[in-house]
Amino acid sequence: MSRNLLPAAASPDTRKRCFDPVVDADTRLLLLGSLPGEKSLAHSQYYAHPQNKFWTLMGEVLGVNLTSLPYEARLAALLAHGVGLWDVVAQAQRTGSLDSNIRERDDNDLLALAASLPRLHTIAFNGGTAAKLGIKVLGAQAQRYRIVSLPSSSPAYTLAYAQKLQAWLMLRGIEAT
């Protein structure tokens, strides 16, 4: 006799999957998040939650008003500046959007992606979970790159915007080198 061991409130399929990487041969800076949140998954867009400050922060870094652009133009602007996007986690069980709820994860092949990007020199992590997991996935190969751990752009991470911006501004100019 089989029994359903899921709590009554749990959805039978809470497995979440990341998006495809946004990179090209000129990617010099790769920004890695953990796993897209519910709003991002619902809109099939990186950092779609209106309170997530990713696009505002990257706009400050690049000197481009990314928030005023349509989504595809935002991605094109990142690529034009040598910036790529992806996530550390390929898929995982997660109820809601919090990284602390990630369970039974499968990680992306960051080593293969990094090896396919001939100009890549910096890998930045958007948040502590992405950094912790991503550095583990990269292993000894992490030493080949400049590694930058950034405070999460998520509204769940309550650091003041000015403090987040100060940390994110360390990326200014990295993408151009």
**Chain CA centroid to CA 152, Å:** 9
Q: Which two tokens stand for residue 32?
A: 């890695």
Query: Of 134, 67, 133, 127, which Cα lies nearest the Cα of 97?
Result: 127
Q: Rounded CA gap, 136 and 105, in Å?
A: 13
Residues tagged active-site:
52
Cα distances from 15 to residues 62, 104, 105, 144, in angstroms, run 34, 9, 9, 32
